[in-house]
Amino acid sequence: MVQVINLNFTYKKTRKKAIHEMDFNIHEGEVFGFLGPNGAGKTTTQRLIIGLLRNYTGQIEVMGKERKKWGKEFYEQIGVAFDFPNLYLKLTAKENLQLISAYYKDRIENPDKLLDRVGLLPDKDVRAESFSKGMKMRLNFIRSIMHQPRLMFFDEPTAGLDPVNAHIIKDIILEQKSAGKTVFLTTHNMTVAEQLCDRVAFIVDGQIVVTGSPKDLMIEHGKRRIKVEYKQNGNLFEKEFEMDHLAENKQFTDILKNTDIRTIHSCEATLEDIFIKLTGRNLL
Amino acid sequence: MRFLHAIWADIRFQMKQGFYLVYVLITIMYLIILSFLPEDVLSVALPLVVFSDPSVLGLFFIGGIIMLEKVQGVLSVLVVSPLRTIEYLLSKVVSLALVSVLAAFAITGFSQYESVNWLILFLSTVLTSGIFTLCGIMINAGCQTVNQYMIKTIPYMLLFVLPCVTLIGFPYSWVFTIVPSVAALRLMLGAYTGINFYEAIALIVYLTGVNYLFLRWTIRVFENEIIYQE
């Protein structure tokens, strides 16, 4: 769906080299996460693929065609939700959808259905100026998918949302994936990335440090151990065991048999741990 | 179809933001002032008032419109939609020209000025509006705040408005017709005081050409400054 080969980009005005020899690809039907701290080059890469930055060197092939060769028809097939609300504030929620929808060939059939999906149906006739940030972000989000795009770009899609609404947005992203759509997600929220992404790429200073599935990375960089928390004689204890030959570990089996187990966890690394380990940086 | 939707979207945006209300109030204010003027003064004042509407007012209105779109972030949505730059720009030109024509016709109609060439009035208003709207978009492209826009507008305004003074009894005023605003005002004056057919055609062709050149130029500036922020 997207293939990036040896991509380099320098901002003309600041002469800042923002992207260095970047290579990655995004398969059709996957959710690909681009993770990195602020200023790492996530948004620049996204803008290059979307076509809002030119004069790059290397290759960006999107939907079978070099990005430079696409015209405005490209935007019929992609959806973009930025990380800040951008709405006609004096128009209602429904009017905002209808107005932008009119520019697409695949017009929105039923805006009420989409508004209902993100809990905005009761406010469909309310002007966007009186919405909270969370409501604006939800409206922003559904506007980016209303024309049934094949490829979607979401920048921090759950930023500013409460857990219930963040859950709804994540569900919609997974629904889009099930429908065969491709999603390019930029975030510095590792939990969102773990929950949604088939593969992630860590980016620092305009370069990709590592690419892989969150699960594989977590196992590869984690410890092959488990941690058991148990209660014995009214006291709480914690102990770690090697995963290998666990069933033959007498101390472990004794704890299982004779104590009150509180929790058992495998000690794989979190994405955040891996990021810090590989880049020496924090995500925020 | 997309272009028509863009025009309709602009009309709705301008209406909801209160621009039309401002236009109505200004038109009423003009009518009240003009009603106090004697007939001989009216023949000069009326074209000047009507001309100021698509030019000076138009320049400020387009500045306000684009700034509001920037502040609300909708420009960033439009650039990732299938709407073409030329459609976006022309919808601004058409929607503002429409309001200018309505205001020009209302002011002229209610002033009960005799012998108006309505076709020339229509064309001169549309062509003036186009030039100033496109000019406003170009000035606005590099601005982040309303204050910046206001300050940047002043030299352009002087460049366009000052040469218009030459139309009042200046011996070589025809030389200044090369300035688009002077050509536009000359055509608009012709709508009220009469104009030679060939002169009118020449002015219309010239102003249409200027509009076309400004459009091409605005597309470049808009794409470089607003779409591709490199």
- pLDDT computed for residue B52 by the predictor: 84
Interface test mutation site (partner A, options B7, B71, B81, max chain A beta carbons within 10 A): B81
Contact: A91, B12; criterion CB under 8 Å = yes
Which of A46, A22, A51 is CA-nearest to residue A34? A46
C-beta atoms of A52 and B79 within 8 A: yes
Q: Do B230 and A72 touch (CB under 8 A)?
A: no
Q: By CA distance, what is A72's nearest residue in B? A: B82
What are residue B191's phi and psi, to 5 degrees? -65, -25
Please report the pLDDT score of residue B157 as a whole number. Answer: 83
Q: In the block, which residue shows the tokens 């601004």?
A: B92
Which chain B positions have a beta carbon within 8 Å of A11's beta carbon?
Answer: 230
- CA–CA separation, B106 vs B88, rounded Å? 28
Which chain B residue's Cα is nearest to A84?
Answer: B73
CB-CB neighbors (< 8 A) of B77 in chain A = 80, 82, 86, 100, 143
Å between B211 CA and nearest CA of chain A: 24
Within 8 A by CB and 6+ apart from A122, the residues are none
Could you list the pLDDT tens digit for every one of the 284 residues in chain A? 899 999 999 988 788 888 989 999 999 999 999 988 888 888 899 999 998 888 889 999 999 889 888 888 899 999 999 888 889 998 999 999 988 888 888 777 688 888 998 889 999 999 999 998 888 989 999 999 998 899 999 998 888 788 888 888 899 999 999 999 999 999 888 888 888 999 999 888 888 988 988 888 888 777 788 899 999 888 899 988 888 888 888 888 888 888 899 999 888 778 788 888 777 766 55
- Do the chains contact at A52 and B227, CB–CB below 8 Å? yes
User: Taking the mean position of all CA atoms in its chain, how far away is CA A101?
Assistant: 25
- pLDDT attached to residue A234: 85
How many CB atoms within 10 Å of residue B40?
Answer: 8
pLDDT in 10s for each residue of chain B, 230 residues: 888 989 998 998 888 888 889 888 988 998 888 888 887 788 788 888 888 887 777 888 898 888 888 888 888 888 899 999 999 999 999 999 999 999 999 998 888 777 889 999 999 999 999 999 999 999 888 888 888 888 888 888 888 887 777 777 666 777 788 889 889 999 998 898 888 899 999 999 999 999 999 999 999 999 888 888 76
Beta-carbon contacts of residue A163 (< 8 Å; ≥ 6 apart): none
Q: Which residues 11-30 of A have a C-beta within 8 angstroms of B?
A: 11-13
Provide the pLDDT for residue B208: 96
Residues of chain B neighbouring A103 (CB-CB closer than 8 A): 2, 5-6, 78, 81-83
Search chain A and give the residue with CA nearest B80.
A75
Interface check A204 vs B, CB under 8 A: no
3-state secondary structure of A113: helix
Judged by CB atoms closer than 8 Å, whether chains meet at B72 and A89 is answered as yes
3-state secondary structure of A178: helix
CA–CA distance, A91 with A99 (Å, rounded to integer)? 9
Q: In this complex, do A104 and B84 lie within 8 Å of one another by their Cβ atoms?
A: no
Structure tokens at A144: 């980016």
Q: Which residues of A touch B81 (CB under 8 A)?
A: 75, 100, 103-104
Distance of CA B140 to CAs B51, B67, B73, B150, B152, Å? 22, 8, 15, 9, 8
Which residues of chain B neighbour A91 with C-beta distances below 8 Å? 12-13, 16
Show residues of chain A in contact with B76, CB under 8 Å.
82, 86
Q: In chain A, which residues have their Cβ closer than 8 Å to the Cβ of B16?
A: 88, 90-91
Compute the Cα dihedral for B190, B195, B200, B206 and give only its sign: negative
Residues with Cβ within 8 Å of A69's Cβ and at least 6 positions away in sequence, in order, are none
Chain A residues inside the 8 Å CB shell of B11: none
Q: With an 8 Å Cβ cutoff, are A76 and B82 in contact?
A: yes
Is A80 within 8 Å of chain B by CB?
Answer: yes
Q: Is residue B195 a contact partner of residue B120, using CB atoms and an 8 Å limit?
A: yes
Nearest to A120 by CA among A105, A141, A106, A89: A141
